[in-house]
Chain A
Amino acid sequence: MALTQVSSSKCCGGFQKVFEHDSTELKCRMKFAVYLPPKAESAKCPVLYWLSGLTCTEQNFITKAGSQQAAAEHGLIIVAPDTSPRGCNIEGEDESWDFGTGAGFYVNAMEEPWKTNYRMYSYITEELPRLINAHFPADPDKMSIFGHSMGGHGALICALKNPGKYKAGAVSAFAPICNPMQCAWGQKAFGGYLGSDKSTWEAYDATVLVGSYSGPQLDILIDQGRDDQFLSAGQLLPDNLIAACTEKKIPVVFRLQPGYDHSYFFVFSFISDHIKHHAKYLNA
């Protein structure tokens, strides 16, 4: 559980830090970024977990999303982990950008050779929160989750699979992969990590999970760039999620933002809305 501070930079009155640790879940050296708002010097703060998208490390979010300002304002700790185990020396892990390293898909792999290390779901929902709560002034009762693209998918399934774990069910996502079983990215990853039995896939598909959700009221905010090439490519499929949520009366506000693409520029543009959305519940 030992943490090694990789970097620490003062930012917006607080500190943007990066730590390194040996993950028991992933059985590898993992890095994660944590923003400590000024408030964290004197009080425990809610923790907002950010899950990044394909190919990202802990650096993309902290360097591109511009979340620190809003986090400082709302007194939120933002934890941004890496997107997959690294350096596990699994064959083919670096072969493609949408599978393996940088594409953990926030599932617990069931197939060899991935199942030993690629346990991102457990890492995100259990190990990392334990670590954060142990080493930082975090309020263990107040956590929330959001993400971008694959991370959006991760955020949604974490919330949907753990009713009540994320405070008041505030979830948000930027251009999430809403229905991975129905898109190429999802089918590739799920097939690889979970095997060919599609019934096991359902446990990691947000749209499917919505149908079986039973728990505290969720409040889901989704922003989607209209000019996102992956939207038009059918990788994201927000309509399926919206339809499922409409069916299940799970409150979603889906904002189709005209002109925006899939990039961190898009994330940057609406990050404060999302932080506010979470802060509303975390600070309530």
Chain B
Amino acid sequence: MQELNLYSVGMAGPGNQAIVWDNSTNIGKGLSTKGLSIPAAGTMERHDRQSKKNITEEKLPRERRRVTPPPSTFQRFSVDTNESLRFDPYVSQSDEDESQLLSSYRGQMQYSDEVFEEEDEAEETPIRDKVYSTPESDRGEHKMDREERLSEDNETEPDVFCTDCKTPTWSSQNLYGPHKDHRVILIPRATEEIKEDLQKTMSKLKEQILLMENFASHLEEIFITVEDMGTSLQENFGRQEQNLEQHYNDVIQALSQKYEQGASRLADEKKLKLEALYGQLVDCGKTLDISKELIETAQEIYRKENKVTFLQGNRAYGLSFNRIEDFSKDEPDFRLLASMEFENNTVDFSDIKQMMDSINILPAPSAPVINPQIPNSATSTSVHVCWSLFSDDTVEFYELHYRPVLDDATPANLQAPEVSKMRVKETYLTVMDLLPNAQYEFWVTATNTTGVSPASEKAVYMTVPSPPVIKWRECMSCPNAALIRWESGNTNPVDSYTMELNEIGAESNDDSITESIVAIPTCECLTQLQPDRQYSVGVRAVNIGGPSDRSKPVIIQTTGTYFHLMEETAHPCLLISEDRFTMFYGDEDIPLSDMIFSDNTFARCVAVLGDLIPVRGRHYWEVSVGEGTEFRVGVAYEDTQRNSFLGGNSTSWCMRHVITPSRHKYEFLHNGWSPDIRITVPPKRIGVMLDYDSEKLSFFNADVDQHLYTFQCHFLHLVHPCFALDSPGTITIHSGIAAPKCTIFD
């Protein structure tokens, strides 16, 4: 945090940050000031010293200042770690190094400085004065001597620099002597050139430092950008911010280290170079001294015009001559000892780059949370799976895995079902092509550039069942109720069924559900209805996934009572039509052995039961018979004896038509007894009215609305219509028709 604070101070970060980090800001400030104070003090001290020394020229301080990075730069890197603390002292240290270096050579340097300057400046005295006033000059005397000599024999010093030979020489020698025709420049200019070279080196160094500064500020920019993002999305990207901080700090540390290393390396190199150059300068000075001395000697000798003396002193001078000769023979080495080039210090930023790249790397997402199935979101072949992620996760895509859940009935030795996998960017997916009424196990993983999350919990989704199939042949109704039967349409059991009733032609919307009956456990439902309406009835199978599509509807009319023949009760000789409304008794005799009887089939009477809705009240239906058809039509208990004739027992009531040689005979049979009733018009269409309420069973000639007969019967339980053919013929039932008025008063 404190590191950040420092940055924020340095970069004058956003106000809120400043507030947040106010406390530490102060610390940072304190630290930075402390950090600053060291080099500042050093500088001041030196300045004092320098002013004491009265060095007017600011070259060195200026250079030093240029070398020294701006305080802000340091401030930025004055991070609060040990390393960075080391870094700060380093600045002063480098300064100190420099000052030490300088101070150790100060005498000479200043001296030489003056030497160079003396060339240009007319007043040498003040400089010399300054030099003399240097208290620390331990070689003062010696110098003084030399200075005296120098000052005295100014003109005799090498005044030019041969660029060809890289050696100081005299301008005279340019005209004659070894440096004839060589390019020569004045010594001061040569010195300047060398200095320029040095400066170039220094500026190169500075450029590199600048580069690093730029790089650092670029990093800062990145950081700020990220930080701003973090601010705006602080809540969501808390983790990311933290992550970035950590990464960034790593980068900063790495950079600091690099800077430190690079700077110290450069400083070391500079130190070495300077040392070498100074050494050369000193040598140069020494050579100059010797040259001067020799020149003086030579002049002395030369001045002695007395040849005797000259010759006398030949021995003494001989030495001098030899020296001069030797010296002149010596080729002073003026090659610069220090290379102008700094070592190629290309900093390897590849690791930093890598680190920077890695800043963008997000943590792998956490395991998504898969939602439980939403009701009514599934179809028979698809489910809509939803999940969610943790808010601060970044996810590139999800992978939804699923496999069917085997029910317990599946043999264990079967292979585990294959897992399917789908890739999706959204947090939901409608998975298609599934089996109806089946359970599927779903789990989801999230993936981003970093990696894959752990799998979510497994959630079981269920496709809704296939729509049931209404068995319209087994549906029945009456004016105030309907019994609907259906097949599940699914091999596996479903939870329940929902039956939906639509009143057709109702005042409201035609499509509106008039009534829904839910949670029907079995494949049939008896429901109350209003008379004389038309209903469209559909059924849905329901499991935990929701309801299936609606079955193909069946139209129920509550105009009359509607039923079909129960084929399973039919005598083997009877053929029941496809629509289960007509029964045939063929002419050809079927051998008894070919007849297949069951417990439920009529065995003697060629009869069949109708499937009447188990609702009390009034039921009316009609029966079409041929005039010559010998029939029995009536009602019977469902368990009426299968081996007796209808009407011949106490469990059935029927109207019987018998053709006698003389006439049509009609009987109204129950328990084997019939009243003696003559009917003048043989009915072709018989109306049957079953009235539980008044316990009556009435027969009508429906064609002429003629009441034929009424049984007063005490029904112990519910009855079914019954029909029989005593001779080959046909009976067709007409159900779902309104009872004619003639039946009302019966």
Contact = CB atoms under 8 A, between A and B. Distances in A.
B14 to A, nearest CB: 97
A254 interface: yes
Interface stretch (A54-62, A83-91, A242-250): A242-250
Max count, chain A CB within 10 A of own CB: residue among B663, B675, B680: B680
Given A245-B681, A252-B679, A253-B709, 11 more contacts: A219-B706, A219-B707, A226-B676, A242-B678, A253-B678, A253-B708, A254-B678, A257-B676, A279-B745, A280-B746, A284-B741
Interface string B713-746: 0000000000000000000000000000110111
A246 B704 contact: no
A283 interface: yes
B300 interface: no
A255 interface: yes
A255 B675 CA distance: 8
22 contacts: A74-B745, A219-B707, A220-B680, A226-B676, A250-B680, A251-B680, A251-B704, A252-B678, A252-B680, A252-B681, A253-B679, A253-B706, A255-B676, A255-B677, A256-B676, A257-B675, A276-B746, A279-B745, A280-B707, A280-B744, A283-B745, A284-B741
A232 B342 CA distance: 158
Nearest to B705: A219
Contacts of A221: 707
A246 B676 contact: no
Max count, chain A CB within 10 A of own CB: residue among B681, B741, B744, B746: B681
Interface of B: 663, 675-681, 701, 704-709, 741-742, 744-746
Contacts of A226: 676
Contacts of A250: 680-681
Contacts of A257: 675-676
B680 A254 contact: yes
Q: Is the interface of B mostly helix, strand, loop or mixed?
A: mixed
B699 to A, nearest CB: 10
A258 interface: yes
Contacts of A249: 680-681
Nearest to B745: A280
A242 B681 CA distance: 10
Across the A-B interface, give the 10 residue pairs with the lowest CB-CB distance, nearest first. A254-B678, A252-B680, A245-B680, A256-B676, A280-B745, A251-B706, A246-B680, A251-B681, A251-B704, A284-B741
Nearest to B742: A280
B32 to A, nearest CB: 115
B676 A258 contact: yes
A96 interface: no
A219 B677 CA distance: 15
Nearest to B677: A255
B745 A276 contact: yes
A124 B138 CA distance: 178
A246 B741 contact: no
B677 A253 contact: yes
Interface in A240-284: 242, 245-246, 249-258, 276-277, 279-280, 283-284
A223 to B, nearest CB: 10
A280 B741 CA distance: 8
A221 B706 CA distance: 9
Nearest to B663: A246
Interface in A215-234: 217, 219-221, 226
Interface string A2-26: 0000000000000000000000000
Nearest to B683: A251
B669 to A, nearest CB: 15
Contacts of A279: 745
Nearest to A73: B745
